[in-house]
Amino acid sequence: MIEEVKHIERKEYKELRLSKKYRRKYRNLLVAESKVELKGYEGQLRQIIITNNGREHPAFLITNDYEISLENAVLKYARRWLVEQAISEQIDFYHLNRLNSSIVVKVDFDLTISILADTLYKLFALGIPGYENSKAETIYRLFIKNYAHFTLSDKKIIISLNKKVHLPLLYETDWFDKTIRIPWLDNYKIEFAINSSL
C-alpha cells in the first residue's frame, strides 16, 4: 500500500487544513482517494489516503460510505484524534496507567477523581485568554505550579501568589478580582493577590 502511494501524482491530492482546535502541529493535510478490494468483502471500498500528517507513513481510511464528502470523512477521523489526544494526556499527566490499586472501588474512585481534575483544568483554561485549548500539563506548569502565602484574618483568607511570567494573565479572569465565599468553610471569604516580590 505504501509503495502504491509513492506513485500518486501531486495533482491527485487535495489540500485540507484542519482548524486550530485539533491541536496538531501538522494541520495542512494532503488527501487522495481510490477504490480497493478486500478479501472477504464483496464489492469495492473507498480508500482515503492522508499524507503530510507529520508521520513517517501516510494514514489510510477504509470506508464503504460513498455519500460522505472527502473533507467530511477526514474531519470525522480527525475528531478521533481529539479523543486519542485526551486519552494520551490523561495517561501521561494523571498517570491513568498506574492506578494505585487493583480493587475495583478504588480504581473507580481514581478514575472519577482524574476525570474531575481534567474537567476542572479545562474549565480553568477556558477563562485564560489564549490558553483555552491548552493541555492540563501546560496549565499546571504555567499557572498552577507555584508558591503562595495564606493570610487569615477576620473571616477572610487572602491567597497571595508568587510572581510568575504568565501570572498577569490571571488578572483578566472573572474570578481573580472577585471575593468568593466558601459555604462549607463557615462562609469565609477568599481573595487572591499577587506578591510584590519574587
Contacts of 141 (CB under 8 A, 6+ apart): none
For 134, other C-beta atoms within 10 Å of its C-beta total 20
pLDDT digits (tens, 9 = 90+) for 89-111: 766 676 666 655 555 555 677 77
Angle between helix axes 70-93 and 104-126 (nearest 10 degrees) is 110
Contacts of 91 (CB under 8 A, 6+ apart): 97
Is the per-residue pLDDT at 84 higher than 80? Answer: no
Give the residue from 4, 30, 7 showing the smallest Cα distance to 17.
30
pLDDT tier at 12, thresholds 50, 70, 90: confident
pLDDT digits (tens, 9 = 90+) for 130-182: 888 888 888 999 988 888 889 998 889 988 888 888 888 887 787 787 888 98
The answer to whether 46 and 64 have CB atoms below 8 angstroms apart is: yes
Can you point out the beta strands (E) in the chain? Answer: 14-17, 28-36, 45-51, 59-63, 148-153, 156-161, 180-182, 188-194
Record the pTM. Answer: 0.52
pLDDT digits (tens, 9 = 90+) for 29-60: 888 888 888 888 888 998 888 887 677 788 88
Phi/psi at 162 (nearest 5 deg)?
Answer: -70, 150
Distance CA 165, CA 110 (A): 33
- The structural domains of the chain, with segments of one domain joined by +, span 2-79, 94-141, 147-194
Phi/psi at 142 (nearest 5 deg)?
Answer: -85, -30
For 136, other C-beta atoms within 10 Å of its C-beta total 21
Distance CA 150, CA 162 (A): 11
Cα distances (Å, whole numbers) of residue 194 to 67, 124, 129, 130, 136: 57, 18, 19, 21, 22
